[in-house]
Amino acid sequence: MIPNLHAMLDRLWGALPFSQAQFTLGLVAALFVLLTFSSLAPDLVLMLGVAVLLVLGILTPAEALGGLANEGMVTVGILFIIGAGVRETGGVDWIAARLFGRPKTVTGAVTRLILPTMSLSAFMNNTPLVAMLIPAVSDLARSQRIAASKLMIPLSYAAILGGTCTLIGTSTNLVVQSQLIAVERDQAELAAEGKPLPQGEQAVHRLTMFDITWIGLPAAVVGGLYLVFAAGYLLPDRRPPLSTQDDPKEYTVEMQVAADSPLIGKSIEDAGLRHLPGLFLAEIDRDGNSIPAVSPREVLRPGDRLLFVGVVESIVELQRIRGLVPATDDVFHLKTPRPQRCLIEAVVSNTCPLVGQTIRESRFRSTYNAVVVAVARNGQRLHQKIGDIEVHAGDVLLVEAHPSFADQHKNSRDFFLVSAVDQSNPRRHELALVAVGLLVAMVVLVSLGFVSMLVAAMVTAGLMIGLRCLSIDAARRSIDWEVLLAIAASFALGLALEKTGAAKMIAQSTIALGGGSPWVTLAIIYFVTLVVTELITNNAAAALMFPFALAIANSLEVSYLPFVIAVMMAASAGFATPIGYQTNLMVYGPGGYRFSDYLKVGIPLDLLVMAVTVILAPLVFPFK
């Protein structure tokens, strides 16, 4: 049956007026159009393309599914778990406070974002860097009321640009270096045997750590300035459908400054409690004395009870601030360990036995094994302490409890509606330095070459779960399967382009346009490598184009260095599509982007980096 099917497919391709390579190119172009002009998810569109290639016999089942077992895709999946571990412990808040501060404008936020990202990316793999910073950038966007769509693409692009500044900044550079080493070794073997190099072939040497810096650093500077401009004028301003200002529910919540809080001695402004989005500090209760109309210069003391009024998203953020704890001691008397709890909204029914009683009188904890931390009432601002609020029918209670509370009471006559608040579990602040330390250790070990990225990531994720930086359930929830499926599909499409000869066909036909001019040929080599990078993976593009670059340099009798540098830069700097680089796909969902956003912002950046490389490479590494 199967051999007959293969024979039928072979006859089909023999009868068609176009080759498999031409069909694959046409299919990829159609996928790009679909991604650009439709609202379909990238993983769905790309998997559809892989399915077509599989049905038509261009890819075997093993090849079509090979991306699911690809080391890069698996590594990205594990990095999601590591990022969640850093986030769940509050390590992200610690990192963000030191890297990003509290910028007030989009321009300030993008500037504070790209400088440290580029600096770190020059000396560590940019994929784990972006995985680590995505939660921090999300928190920055939320806390400063900046659309995440203004920051996520700059995060990815800054990491890519920083990676071009050193030999170890990105795996693409290391792929080219490994090929140079292989050629150098072959030439050394010929020399050892007393044989001359083949006619027209020049001696090749490996690159040093900072050879590419002469090109990568200017490109990063130009690219960084462009990103500041793009964030203000080209990137979309997409906010959630319901913003913190539009939420009709205003909760009253009471928090207390813990005895060992790092906020002690800080003013309201310095503690970051002044401009929380959707949240208002109504008063401070200090030793029984009320302080209304709180000044931003008011200094916090141990035991201060802070009365806030705000929307649920802001209450969740408030609960995550280290050193602030719910003012009710009942929170610490629940049977369920606090890191395993979450916040749940419950609307009180008219038959609830709590109606007419204060929270304190109702003995809520003993009755429901949960604690009321905030109350909302029909848009009113309740200025009483939580325990003194009398429960009315229709009140919305924000309770801290085990997630099972929602299932147990969703059909209860006591509540009209019960629903859990997403990602509202308390932070494990005592493990923040442990999580950050594990992350730093992983980066150092990988950067020094002691272990592979995959091994280091697996060990780090295992240690984070073992040390309870996050639960197994939280680890499962942290994995973004849409991103992983899109990455796996992009590997399969890249393999099809290589297998059918489509990628090679593009390279050979366009390189012939050089006309013997080293400058023109260099620009064409860069452009073709860039196109191949946008279609297949960056490492595959570098591996495919390196032999062409070396062969053309030899045929033109000019130095190979400008051409090799051009391949390294072009294979790394793929900005125009989300599938051009893994980090672009990683920020696709968190930024709420569409495929066309990458085209609008990425194409000008592609051309800028190309211009910098083509102009500078021959000046730094002369053709002759």
Inform me whether the pLDDT recorded for 524 exceeds 60: yes
Does 333 share its domain with 462? no
Q: Residue 329 belongs to a domain with what CATH number?
A: 3.30.70.1450
Same domain, 327 and 407: yes
Total domains in the chain come to 2
Higher-confidence residue of 34 and 97: namely 34
Whether residues 414 and 437 fall in one domain: no
Q: Which of 380, 392, 390, 372 is nearest to 315 (CA)?
A: 372
Quote the CA–CA distance of 258 and 582 in Å, as a whole number: 42
Mean pLDDT value of segment 326-349: 77
Could you tell me if residue 49 is inside a domain? no
Q: What is the dihedral of CA 541, 490, 485, 37, to 10 degrees?
A: 130
Instruction: Decide: 37 and 594 in contact? Cβ < 8 Å.
Output: no
pLDDT at 131 > cutoff 80: no
**Rounded to an integer, what distance in angstroms lies between the CA atom of residue 131 and that of residue 443?**
12
- Higher per-residue pLDDT: 438 or 178: 438
Question: Nearest-5° angle of CA 441, CA 442, CA 448?
Answer: 90
Q: If you average pLDDT over residues 381-405, what whole number do you get?
A: 84
Query: Could you read off the pLDDT of 536-552 as tens digits, one per residue?
Result: 667 777 777 777 788 78
How far is residue 401's CA from residue 420's CA, in Å, rounded to a whole number? 10
Kindly state whether residue 187 falls inside one of the protein's structural domains: no
523 — pLDDT class (breaks 50, 70, 90): very high
pLDDT tops 80 at residue 526: yes
Residue 360 lies in a domain: yes
Q: Are 50 and 492 in contact (CB under 8 A)?
A: yes
248-295 pLDDT, tens digit per residue, is 567 888 888 888 888 888 888 888 787 677 778 888 888 878 888 788
Is residue 345 one of the residues assigned to a domain? Answer: yes
Same domain, 372 and 438: no
Which percentage of the chain shows pLDDT scores above 90?
A: 14
Both structure tokens of 44: 């769905």
Q: Which two tokens stand for residue 519?
A: 């400058």
The answer to whether residues 360 and 392 belong to one domain is yes
Q: Is residue 596 part of a domain?
A: no
492: Cα separation from own chain's centroid: 22
* Cβ–Cβ under 8 Å, residues 196 and 552: no
**Each residue's pLDDT tens digit, 341-389:** 888 888 998 888 889 888 888 888 888 888 888 888 876 777 777 888 8
Residue 297: give the domain boundaries: 251-310+323-420
Please give the helix or strand (H or E) that residue 367 lies within, else none: helix 364-368
Do 272 and 125 share a structural domain?
no
Q: How confident is the model at residue 314 (pLDDT cuts 50, 70, 90)?
A: confident
Same structural domain, 111 and 153: yes
CA angle, residues 325, 327, 331, in degrees to nearest 5: 75
pLDDT in tens, 223-250: 999 999 998 889 988 765 444 444 556 7
Span 49-69, mean pLDDT? 84
pLDDT at position 245, please? 44
Are residues 408 and 265 part of one domain? Answer: yes
Number of residues written out for the chain: 624
Mean pLDDT value of segment 171-188: 79
User: Domain check: are 100 and 123 in the same one?
Assistant: yes
155 in a structural domain: yes
Q: Residue 180: inside a domain, yes or no?
A: no
Predicted confidence (pLDDT) per residue in 138-164, tens digit = 878 877 778 889 999 999 999 999 989
Q: Does some domain include residue 369?
A: yes
Same domain? For 276 and 381 the reply is yes
Residue among 610, 607, 605, 602 at smallest CA distance from 36: 602
Are residues 448 and 396 located together in one domain of the fold?
no
Mean pLDDT of the chain: 81
Residue 17 binned pLDDT confidence (cut-offs 50, 70, 90): low
